[in-house]
Amino acid sequence: MDTGTAYGLRLGQPLNELAQVGPGTPYGEVLRRYWHPVAKVEDATTRPISLRVLGEELVLFRTRKGKPGLLHPRCIHRGASLFYGGVEDEGIRCCYHGWVFDTEGHCLEQPCEPDLGLHRDRVRQPWYSVEEQYGLLWAYMGPPDKKPVLPRYDTLEDLAPGEQLIVNDQGVGGGGPAVLDFNWLQHWENVMDPFHVPILHARFSGNQFTPEMALIPEVSYEYTPLGVRSIQMRDLGDGRQLRRVTEVIFPNLRVVASPKLSSGQTNMIGWVVPMDDTNFRIFTVARDEDSDFLAKLRSTHEGKPWKELTELEHQRLPGDYEAQKSQGSISLHSEDHLTTTDQGIAMIRRMMAKQHRAVAGGGDPVGVFFDESERLVRIEGGNYFEGAADAPLLAEAVDD
């Protein structure tokens, strides 16, 4: 008699307490304790744009005086969207009846009311704090009394002459479109999964990686104060060892080393920002002399950019996007069979669960600081060559 057939198969469940991002969800509340990049600095203008972040609809604009504003889109008066609002010196005016709100939601004017609104100070348009840093706009969407300082990252500080910061919101590292249409956690977990590299990127995706990256590495994992780290050792066969360090930093930062193999710390990091439970974006900041550095980094499949692949080529040359999206809109994590090589995945999940228990219990999650003196985050991820140090460098492509 046949055994192991699909008859009677019961489909599993997602780890919703880790995957979901909306208000009130366990990890959604963890995410809301940190600052998140929501747009590039230049996206905030006097023309409002709609954003979806952590399951919430928002409108972003910049007053004529230059201050960015991030507001709940539904005008508190009668509900027209501030997407259609007119931006003025101090705020935005609703198109329907003209109420004006500043970037902190104060109602400055109700033009059809007597005296422009005798009681306008009694209402408030819901808003979020926004700060600018590294060419990005950062929002804090959590409880006001828990607002931490906005972190800085050592790898993005102290630029050398000729270097610049390069900002990208087009999904660098995701191997697919700018808006990635599946649960963010499938992507973030993938950062701590070094074993897919020699299989997916070397055997399946075409010439994405150098021969060295096709070697199955020796991997060790460790918890760090801010997340999880994997150390991948590859014997390069010329007396050298490549020690590649990859990190995830809570709640959603990816630290994947530069492909240029300049020995040392990575020159770029990226934030995996959920739009909702089944869509996310990646904001990446790099330092380099070439302003096209990040655009050039995008993987190709047998030389073709992802956007130009035919359906057959997507199937024949799958990359990160195809693999991760095919796990489902939200993966049924309970069906996973984790093995020794999935230790990094297991560690992320355990550490995530710990954070949401901490938050639910009234505490703070890791990496949240309230003192300016603690705001600098040290990045360890990078490519470190050990052994015959003066051997020529290899060409290597990023894990995209």
Six-digit token string for 227: 């997340």
Query: What backbone torsions phi and psi does residue 99 show, to the nearest 5 degrees?
Result: -60, 140
Rounded CA gap, 185 and 49, in Å? 26
Contacts of 110 (CB under 8 A, 6+ apart): 77, 97, 98, 99, 116, 117, 120
Determine if the peptide bond prior to 251 is cis (ω within 30°). yes
369 binds a copy of itself (CB under 8 A): no
Q: Under the criterion CB under 8 A, does residue 22 sit at the interface with a copy of itself?
A: no
Q: Which stretch binds a copy of itself (CB under 8 A): 109-117, 177-185, 301-309, 349-357?
A: 109-117
Q: Tell me if 367 sits within 8 A of 226, measured CB to CB.
A: yes
Closer to a copy of itself by CB, 58 or 272: give it: 58
**Tokens 């140090």 -> residue:** 389
> Residue 346: CA atoms inside 13 Å, Cβ hemisphere, count?
10
Q: Which is nearer to a copy of itself, 32 or 234 (CB)?
A: 32
Site for a copy of itself in 228-247 (CB under 8 A): none
Per-residue binder mask for a copy of itself (CB under 8 A), 194-223, x = binder: -xx-xxx--xx-----------x-------
Measured distance CA(191)–CA(173) in Å, rounded: 10
Least distance to a copy of itself from the beta carbon of 351, Å? 18
Question: Does 65 sit near a copy of itself (CB under 8 A)?
Answer: no
114-153 residues in contact with a copy of itself (CB under 8 A) are 114, 117, 119, 123-129, 141-145, 147
Q: Which is nearer to a copy of itself, 267 or 324 (CB)?
A: 324
What x/- string results for residues 34 through 53 when contact with a copy of itself is judged by CB under 8 A?
A: -------------xx-----
Considering beta carbons, is residue 147 or 240 the nearer one to a copy of itself?
147
Among 16, 84, 135, 279, binds a copy of itself (CB under 8 A): 84
Position 150: which residue type?
L
160 binds a copy of itself (CB under 8 A): no
Nearest approach, Cβ of 62 to a copy of itself (angstroms)? 15
Distance in Å, CB of 251 to a copy of itself, minimum: 16
95/353 with CB nearer a copy of itself = 95
Measured from the CB of residue 264, what is the shortest distance to a copy of itself in angstroms? 27
Q: Give whole-number Cα distances, 358 to 29, 240, 264, in Å.
A: 11, 43, 34
Tell me if 277 contacts a copy of itself by CB under 8 A: no
Q: How far is 26 from 151, CA to CA, in rounded Å?
A: 23
3-state DSSP assignment of residue 45: coil
Shortest spacing between CB 321 and a copy of itself, in angstroms: 11
Residue with Cβ nearer a copy of itself (93 or 254): 93
CA distance 137 to 62: 11
362 near a copy of itself (CB under 8 A)? no
- Specify burial of residue 114 (Cβ count, 10 A radius: 0-12, 13-18, 19+): exposed
Q: How far is the CB of 12 from a copy of itself (least distance, A)?
A: 9
CA distance 54 to 23: 8
Q: Which residues in 292-331 contact a copy of itself (CB under 8 A)?
A: 312, 315-316, 318, 322-324, 326-328, 331
Kindly give, in sequence order, each residue whose CB lies less than 8 Å from that of residue 362, ignoring residues fewer than 6 positions away: none
CB of 6 to a copy of itself, least distance (A): 4
Q: Could you tell me the smallest distance in angstroms from the CB atom of residue 42 to a copy of itself? A: 17
Q: Which helix (H) or strand (E) holds 36?
A: strand 35-40
